[in-house]
Amino acid sequence: MAEPTNVSEQHDYDVVVVGAGGSGLRAAIAAHEAGARTAIVCKSLLGKAHTVMAEGGIAAAMGNVWPEDNWQVHFRDTMRGGKMLNNWRMAQLHAQEAPERVWELEEWGALFDRTDEGKISQRDFGGHRYARLAHVGDRTGLEMIRTLQQRAVDLGIDVFMECTVTRLLLDGQRVAGAFGYWRETGSFLTFRAPAVVLATGGIGKSFQVTSNSWEYTGDGHAMALWAGASLLNMEFVQFHPTGMVWPPSVKGILITESVRGEGGVLRNSEGKRFMFDYIPEFFKAETADNEQEADAWYADHKNNRRPPELLPRDEVARAINSEIKAGRGSPHGGVFLDIASRRSAADIKRRLPSMYHQFKELGDVDITKEPMEVAPTCHYVMGGIEVDADTQAAKVSGLYAAGEVSGGMHGSNRLGGNSLSDLLVFGKRAGESAASYVAGLPSRPAISSRDVQAATDEALAPFSNPGGENPYAVMKDLQEHMQSLVGIIRKGEELELALKEIDRLKERAQHVSVKGSGRSYNPGWHTALDLRAMLTVSECIARAALERKESRGGHTRDDYPQTDPDWGKVNLVLRERRGVIEIAKQPLPVMPDDLKTLFEETH
Ligand SMILES: Cc1cc2nc3c(=O)[nH]c(=O)nc-3n(C[C@H](O)[C@H](O)[C@H](O)COP(=O)(O)OP(=O)(O)OC[C@H]3O[C@@H](n4cnc5c(N)ncnc54)[C@H](O)[C@@H]3O)c2cc1C
């Protein structure tokens, strides 16, 4: 029997899924179908998660365009893209199950673009050997969310929207539920549930220039850590090569990789197609080293050596960064991405309609006539909650994680399109595992009124600091420090400075005060609460980045520019003990021999 708590609104479920992006919706559908009483809780309106913003497509080796494609090649590409730091078992399950998950979406009503033979069309993306992204123009995420949302609503799954979860509640060492507040009224509520699936997405808001929207403050990462779970490889943050740079109000907004997949090329201020100067040894064999060869590939996609613009994102982002630093940038501090001279206006409008409208409306640029100015933008976090590959169980009983908030799958660098497929594959697995965990429980955990009181006090603290600092000022300073000290190129002394600054910001965050006495419609208060997670996650990123003394994937150290084979054998694991974040090396799981042989074959 649960203890009564001081919060009057309480809900009982078997499984509570925090997050309504692709992974949360897929997890909730799976948990519900497995017989669990399931709820979805999300910070914004249902349908407004990051997933809806995904443009390019869902990576799955369906072989619709290239019959040679199969899960083994997809697995190999994913591991190579992640510089072999991926959890091999997750990469294997992902490659094996992604096609089935895409066909399932289609059965549930998703309308994909088609090939001439009427199969689901698949497009090229960086690091994928074959064209394998199932897509709907450049609005794939919208179709995916529409389909999953409709299915979840049809099944009658309860949804709590505009409701932020701030703490997980425990009974001893196991999950007992979650605590949160309604954003509109500010009133508190608790969920009693033996299993919680975290599907809260990314952390991009900790950086100044990001493609992420306001919701992505790393809440799930932080809540898992505070509850005793571990985070993996938080140093690996993906800076997508192509974000908008002008006008300032739209800086960071994403320009999909599909632009390069459709033939767009990168040039510097001298008009040079500079990516040929940045082909790393690792990808030399499969990358075209001159324009003629690269363009031949665009013409028939049969040439095995792909254009260097389609190298994995970490490589392209670093190259752009170097060109800008060398003074060969565009007028507003980017480089040029040119599709206008490569495709007809009709093609561009048909294949990239969102990009056409985005630039026309936000930048007054007609991309069918002129190049775009682009620069890297913080986009995705490869690091995340450490989970079991098969079940998505975190290190705390009853806690599961899926999607961007979980770690391991993408190693040190994610390939484009591999997130949407990850959401489907591991969302389903997380939901099923959570339901089966609850079904097997001999007794249900209880939430304690003391913990609920502590969560309430913590949430109300910003109201008891009259005359304190504005939370937005602290957030802005954090974003600036993360951008300049923990950004795309890192140095030991800058990371040490970042950690000192984060300590100072933590102190300042203790004393922020919120304007207005009420909790309803109070965005300053919401920011004050978000800050806690942002600071925790930022510290994890900076600590891990300082610890990893090599450059690999999304983590580039100016003082350790080489990839070090010894560092390729370990993950960095972060845990919180008595308020202190600790970091440890952990050996990578050993890949079985039959999978190892895939890397010996020459394709
Ligand atoms: C512009 C853009 C384009 C992209 N294009 C592609 C693409 O083409 N292909 C691809 O594979 N990937 C793409 N990505 C990446 C991909 O979209 C994301 O990684 C993915 O959608 C994350 O899904 P998710 O389910 O993990 O979380 P999200 O879709 O980010 O959803 C997170 C959910 O958690 C909720 N939430 C967060 N914190 C809380 C809290 N404290 N309490 C309650 N709810 C909370 C949010 O409200 C939201 O509902 C793109 C990303 C962006 C930003």
In order of their start, the domains of the chain are: 10-238+379-448 (3.50.50.60), 243-378 (3.90.700.10), 450-563 (1.20.58.100)
What are the φ/ψ torsions at residue 489 (nearest 5 degrees)? -120, 125
Angle, helices 22-33 vs 418-439, to 10°: value is 30
pLDDT band at residue 286 under the 50/70/90 scheme:
confident
Which residues face 582 on adjacent strands?
A: 575
**CA atoms in the 13 A half-sphere facing the CB of 347:** 12
Region label for 596, one of left (φ > 0), alpha (ψ between -120 and 50) or beta (otherwise): alpha
Residues labelled as active-site residues: 240, 260
Nearest atom in ligand 1 to the alpha carbon of residue 417 is 11
pTM over 0.75: yes
C-alpha 40 – ligand 1 centre gap (Å)? 15
Extract the tokens encoding 507. Answer: 């102190």
Can you give the pLDDT at residue 4?
A: 56
Contact 51, 144 (CB under 8 A): yes
- Tokens 């000290």 -> residue: 485
Contact (CB, 8 A) for 50 and 201: yes
pLDDT in tens, 479-489: 999 999 999 99
Residue type at position 280:
P
User: Which of 16, 387, 419, 529 is the best mutation target for the ligand 1 pocket, counting ligand atoms within 8 Å of the beta carbon and taking the most?
Assistant: 419
Q: Distance from the CA of 295 to the center of ligand 1, in angstroms?
A: 34
CB-hemisphere CA count at 13 Å for 459? 24
Q: Which of 539, 428, 415 is nearest to 83 (CA)?
A: 415
Where does 262-372 have alpha helices with state H? 291-300, 313-325, 345-351, 353-358
* Dihedral sign computed on CA atoms, order 458, 464, 44, 13: positive
CA distance 574 to 412: 16
Choose which residue among 200, 214, 429, 534 to substitute to test ligand 1 binding: the one with the highest number of ligand atoms within 8 A of its C-beta.
200
Query: Please, is 275 exposed, middle or buried when counting C-beta atoms within 10 Å of its C-beta (0-12, 13-18, 19+)?
Result: buried
Task: Give, in order, the Cα–Cα distances in Å from 551 to each of 81, 255, 363, 545.
Answer: 14, 26, 35, 10
282 C-alpha to center of ligand 1: Å?
Answer: 30
Atom of ligand 1 nearest to the CA of 421: 11
pLDDT digits (tens, 9 = 90+) for 541-566: 999 999 999 999 999 999 999 999 99
**At residue 372, does pLDDT exceed 60?**
yes
DSSP secondary structure, 416-434, as one string:
TTHHHHHHHHHHHHHHHHH
Name, in order, each residue with C-beta under 8 angstroms of 356's C-beta and a sequence gap of 6 or more.
348, 349, 367, 368
Q: How far is the CA of 444 from the centre of ligand 1 (A)?
A: 31
> In sequence order, what E strands does 50-124 have?
58-59, 122-123
pLDDT of residue 5: 63
Contact 147, 202 (CB under 8 A): no
HEC string for 577-592: ECCEEEEEEEECCCCC
Q: Which atom of ligand 1 is nearest to the CA of 419?
A: 11
Determine the distance from the C-alpha atom of residue 547 to the mean position of all C-alpha atoms in its chain, rounded to a whole number: 22
Q: What percent of the chain has pLDDT over 90?
A: 86
With 90 as the cut, is the pLDDT of residue 80 above it? yes
Place of tokens 């309860």: 158
pLDDT per residue as tens digits for the range 10-52: 999 999 999 999 999 999 999 999 999 999 999 999 988 999 9
**What pLDDT score does 1 carry?**
43
Residue 204 has pLDDT above 80, yes or no: yes
Contact 550, 558 (CB under 8 A): no
pLDDT value at residue 462? 92
**pLDDT reading at 55 higher than 90:** no
User: Residue 422 in contact with residue 409, Cβ under 8 Å?
Assistant: yes
**Tokens 């196991």 correspond to what residue?**
174
Q: Where is 477: in which H helix or E strand?
A: helix 471-485
Cβ burial of 331 (10 Å; 0-12, 13-18, 19+) is exposed
What are the tens digits of pLDDT across the range 305-345? 889 999 988 889 999 999 998 999 999 999 999 999 999 99
